[in-house]
Amino acid sequence: MTRQGTIPFFAPDLFEDDRDVLIDLVRRTGTDPGQKFILGERTAAFEDALRDTLGAAHVVACSSGTSALTLVLTAMGVGPDDEVIVPAYGCAPLGNTVANLGATPVFADVDPLTMVADPERVEEAVTSRTKALMPAHMFSVMADMPAMRQLADRHGLRLLEDSAVAQGGVLDGRPAGTWGDAGVFSFVQVKTFGMPGEGGAVVTDDPELARVVRALRNHGQEGQRFVHQRIGCNSRFDELLAAFQLHRLPGLPARLERRAQIADYYTERFTPLTDRGITPPPPGRNGRCHYVYSVLADERDALQAHLAAHGVDSHVYYPQPLPHQPAFARFAPPGQTWPHALAASRRQLALPINPRLTDAETEHIADTVCAFSTGLPAA
């Protein structure tokens, strides 16, 4: 099969269809007599629209997914002497949001197949200092939120759901972001509801958390300007981006459905490869999210090279478990190991799944993976 160029991992033309709208919104926001560029009526309307899609009581838009985590942890009162249990495998904000508040991230090993925090390992990590659990949805699979909810209730802990990558995911009929005391989303360009800039949101049914987060995002002011009830930060939301996201929101379900279809197709093609050392995520749609589609491959680096040679860009997410990273070494107790996180970091490979891929491209990607596997010995 001949191909022109490489299939990119992230679509460079993500906002192509909305370019004129974006330019029009720049003009309209820029010439609006109100001249309000942050936290105005567009941001409020965007928060309302997100609330409607989730059936959640409160949505607070803020400056990033990382900032959303920090705002919630701060509102929960997490600080020095506290521990927060996070997955050992995942992105840096899981560790640095906790550490930057002077608290201790405690790393729990993950499930070897789904790569999300293993509830048994999380429970083992609970101590008298534990303040909160912060599981994260990963790649194709949402964290085991029913188990996390039970654990949090049983031990009297707060539950923060890092749903940054899982917007639109549904587990047992309940949307991602609404399982914890609070959840977060990220709208950074590459995420499923990404935008041309930085932004995030906090989702919660807890009116007190919502009130405090809302104040914290704008220097701790509540109601009255220049009166600061608490020490906050600047985590405000941009009016232009709020207007653009309001425009993009109605199209989100179709884009998510396209991602889900591609995931279904890959999983169907790859399930027979399991005994050749290439394992797809479990099939089905319950508790799935499709920011990234990743397989576990025994010969990961060779598979990645084979894909590159056939014009397919792929990504390794997290070549090291969090506690193996130099930044978090001081939170890695001597002698403790995270074998499943380590195995995942050696085997994980993410394939393109963005909604702009054509059927011919997804077929080429699947064919390329399957062709690689025929060169491998069967188990």
Ligand X SMILES: *Cc1c(COP(=O)(O)O)cnc(C)c1O
Minimum Å gap between C-beta 354 and ligand X is 15
DSSP string for 2-17: --SSPBPSS-TTTTGG
Is the CB of 93 or the CB of 280 nearer to ligand X?
93
Is the CB of 269 or the CB of 315 nearer to ligand X?
315
- Listed in sequence order, the DSSP H helices in 195-273 are 207-216, 239-248, 252-270
Spatial CB neighbours of 69, under 8 Å, sequence gap ≥ 6: 93, 97, 134, 160, 162, 164, 184
Is the CB of 158 or the CB of 310 nearer to ligand X?
158
Among 78, 85, 125, 164, which residue interacts with ligand X (rule: CB under 6 A)?
Answer: 164
Among 159, 165, 201, 353, which residue interacts with ligand X (rule: CB under 6 A)?
Answer: 165
| 324 secondary structure, DSSP code | G
Is the CB of 113 or the CB of 188 nearer to ligand X?
188
CA distances from residue 165 to 120, 124, 266 in whole angstroms, order as listed: 23, 26, 19
Instruction: Give the footprint of ligand X on residues 176-195 (CB under 6 A).
Output: 186, 188
State yes or no: residue 321 binds ligand X (CB under 6 A).
Answer: no
What mask, x for binding ligand X by CB under 6 A, covers residues 262 to 301?
Answer: ----------------------------------------
Among 200, 277, 281, 352, which residue interacts with ligand X (rule: CB under 6 A)?
Answer: 200
Q: Helix, strand, coil shares of the chain as percentages rounded to 5?
A: 40, 15, 40
Measured CA to CA, the distance from residue 31 to residue 328 in angstroms comes to 47
Is the CB of 307 or the CB of 322 nearer to ligand X?
322
Is the CB of 64 or the CB of 345 nearer to ligand X?
64
Minimum Å gap between C-beta 70 and ligand X is 9
Minimum Å gap between C-beta 28 and ligand X is 26
Measured CA to CA, the distance from residue 366 to residue 108 in angstroms comes to 33
State yes or no: residue 145 binds ligand X (CB under 6 A).
Answer: no
Instruction: Give the footprint of ligand X on residues 66-85 (CB under 6 A).
Output: 66
**Bridge partners of 62?**
200
State yes or no: residue 332 binds ligand X (CB under 6 A).
Answer: no
Is the CB of 64 or the CB of 104 nearer to ligand X?
64
Measured CA to CA, the distance from residue 148 to residue 342 in angstroms comes to 22
Binding span for ligand X by CB under 6 A among 33-41, 144-152, 162-170, 299-307 = 162-170
The residue among 328, 236, 331 whose CA lies nearest residue 39 is 236
Burial track 269-300 (b if 16+ CB lie within 10 A, e otherwise):
bbeebeebbbbbbeeeeebbbbbbbbbbbebb
Give residue 126's identity as a one-letter amino acid code: V
149, 179 contact by CB (below 8 A): yes
Minimum Å gap between C-beta 178 and ligand X is 16
State yes or no: residue 136 binds ligand X (CB under 6 A).
Answer: yes
Is the CB of 164 or the CB of 307 nearer to ligand X?
164
- Tell me the residue number closest to ligand X, measured at CB: 65
Please give the residue ranges that form the binding site for ligand X (CB under 6 A): 64-66, 90-91, 93, 136, 162, 164-165, 186, 188, 200
